[in-house]
Chain A
């Protein structure tokens, strides 16, 4: 039984991705585009030359972290839709430290990253606390926290960090993740050292969940709150801890944008969508650190490659959003895929 379950957790994402891509091809056919041309353009947009590969890696970096954020909370049975807001406050905190502090790099850069972790953690702490102490559903609170983050951060950028401007100054080079070496390798793409941090974060998540007592408790609470309580675990503490760590991962994703890709923060007219895409990444990656890395690579490639589709094949970039949405549907409806697979198995016998 466990063996077939393991098989399913690997098969379902693969089948879902294939179905999503096939659906994308069908949509292209029906709207009068050539799917082969479309997917070739997508491939070239992601892997065409050293520059696009660098940009693809840059695109993957924050997605990986928001994916980890959502996955981590999922493990404790919590749904962190608030990664979006946590990214925004993390971004702000990192840039703020990058602008305001004057220190050598060994202090400045870690300080800026810590600030983003703390800001994201705080934004996760509030819904965690409300869930643990008052039983308020975290989904609604995190959605509301997203908007509070968006509007408040815009106001801070406009009135505190600048004088009614839309973008801040660039952060001090001592707080920057940008790397001349990586840029040189990739024809001056915006690739930065963040990917190393993101991969390290994935390892941290794996270690916490699989190798520590705290991780064991977090998982136990996710499986069954009442049993955990009966076993003497502090359920409230674990819920809060899970949201705090989840928020910190998402805050770190903000630092990747603030310290790595852009080096500034601008007023946002809408969400970055990094948090919402993180839900897709976590879901496809089966909430497992290694799976999240793979899913982030897939979605990063799709999103970056999409940029090439209008010029290469005339296909609007939104096709990729449709494909990603469909993949989520397929993974979420895994019940039916499982049912079909089991049915085939039975008939095979």
Chain B
């Protein structure tokens, strides 16, 4: 039993971390009333920047390279997401359409530049990815240590920490209250002197930063290079986690952990007695089926923020 947990839990955390980061971005954006289908594209951008930075500066920064890479990826992701913000907040574009365009644009730019800079469709493997480590002190705790803190990617714990920070920011600070107000009833918020446009810009840019983090963490822990097939659907799965988690940071984290669990089952399920007989395809589609069921109200009703997806036009009712 302990052996199963020892192989399962690090794998779950490993698969969940990028989803948690990206889903947090989705929570910020959607809580402010901007639908973000573009999470996939933001992850692509993050993965691309993370890998390219890592390849270019591995000699300069040594073992710090992966950390600096994800930081840079977050910044570029934030800048890239401004396009979505301009289109959907300032130009009143259909937010779903803009998100779809973000996805196409990110993949187009990423692969275009990869081909131009590296002369082929995919980059080399990075030399400084994240490595599994033991967390000092905690790894020595009997029983819990080996399961949770040995042979783990520290990014997984950073992701969980960020989820709690996001919860605190959204629910315990004036900024969070304003952000949520803008997503529920922008006109009322505006009447109270909150700058709706500014709040939405900040929220979308935050989602870009988190999406960039998620994408780069995915690239630097799981795949180690960038090509057109580095990010295939993780962004949409993060979006599913946002909804399954009922637009709540901790809920989204829980959902992301659960989806990570489903993914790791399809990877190491063969070693677990009861599950080896379940065809892999059911584990693959489980996150998506569950999201639909959650939305349909079979697993607790998921209600979107009131003004989600509606452009705010001053003076209109």
Residue contact A140 to B97, C-beta cutoff 8 Å:
no
Residue contact A144 to B292, C-beta cutoff 8 Å:
yes
Checking A81, A148, A154, A320 against B96 with a beta-carbon cut-off of 8 angstroms, the contacting residue is A81
Q: Is B9 an interface residue (CB 8 A)?
A: no
Residue contact B288 to A144, C-beta cutoff 8 Å:
yes
Checking B87, B104, B107, B239 against A332 with a beta-carbon cut-off of 8 angstroms, the contacting residue is B87
CB-CB < 8 A to A134: which residues of B? 295-297
What 1/0 mask marks residues of chain A from 211 to 232 whose CB sits below 8 Å from any chain B CB? 0000000000000000000000
Counting chain A CB atoms within 10 Å of each CB, which of B91, B104, B288 scores highest?
B104
Majority secondary structure, A binding face:
helix
**Contact A336/B91 with A140-B295, A325-B101 known, Cβ cut-off 8 Å:** yes
Q: Is A187 an interface residue (CB 8 A)?
A: no
Give the contact-size bracket for chain B. Answer: 35 or more
Residue contact B96 to A79, C-beta cutoff 8 Å:
yes
Residue contact A333 to B229, C-beta cutoff 8 Å:
no
Q: Is B177 an interface residue (CB 8 A)?
A: no
Checking B104, B233, B285 against A321 with a beta-carbon cut-off of 8 angstroms, the contacting residue is B104
For residue B183, give the distance in angstroms from its CB to the closest CB of chain A.
15
Checking B35, B97, B295 against A283 with a beta-carbon cut-off of 8 angstroms, the contacting residue is B97
Residue contact A143 to B295, C-beta cutoff 8 Å:
no
What 1/0 mask marks residues of chain A from 303 to 346 whose CB sits below 8 Å from any chain B CB? 00000000000001011111011101101111110000000000
What 1/0 mask marks residues of chain B from 269 to 297 whose CB sits below 8 Å from any chain A CB? 00000000001110011001101100111
Q: Is A155 an interface residue (CB 8 A)?
A: yes
Residue contact B83 to A140, C-beta cutoff 8 Å:
no
A-B CB pair tally, cutoff 8 Å: 129
Residue contact A333 to B111, C-beta cutoff 8 Å:
no
Closest partner residue, chain B, to A79 (CB atom): B96
CA distance A141 to B87 in the complex (A): 24
Residue contact B101 to A328, C-beta cutoff 8 Å:
yes
Residue contact A325 to B104, C-beta cutoff 8 Å:
yes
Closest partner residue, chain B, to A310 (CB atom): B115
Q: Is B202 an interface residue (CB 8 A)?
A: no
CA distance A227 to B94 in the complex (A): 23
**Contact A322/B292 with A155-B281, A335-B91 known, Cβ cut-off 8 Å:** no
Question: Which 4 interchain pairs have the tightest Cβ spacing?
Answer: A321-B108, A325-B105, A325-B104, A332-B93
Q: Which B residues fall within an 8 A CB radius of A? A: 35, 37, 83, 86-87, 91-94, 96-98, 100-105, 107-109, 111-112, 115-116, 229, 232-233, 236, 239-240, 243, 279-281, 284-285, 288-289, 291-292, 295-297, 304
Q: Which A residues fall within an 8 A CB radius of B? A: 27, 31, 79, 81, 130, 134, 136-137, 139-141, 143-145, 147-148, 151-152, 154-155, 269-270, 276, 279-280, 283, 316, 318-322, 324-326, 328-329, 331-336
Return 15 A-B CB contacts under 8 Å, by A number.
A130-B292, A134-B297, A147-B233, A155-B279, A280-B100, A316-B112, A316-B115, A318-B112, A321-B107, A324-B104, A325-B102, A329-B93, A332-B87, A332-B91, A332-B101
Given contacts A27-B112, A136-B292, A143-B239, 11 further A-B contacts (CB under 8 A): A81-B96, A140-B243, A144-B291, A276-B100, A276-B103, A322-B105, A322-B109, A326-B101, A332-B93, A332-B98, A333-B93
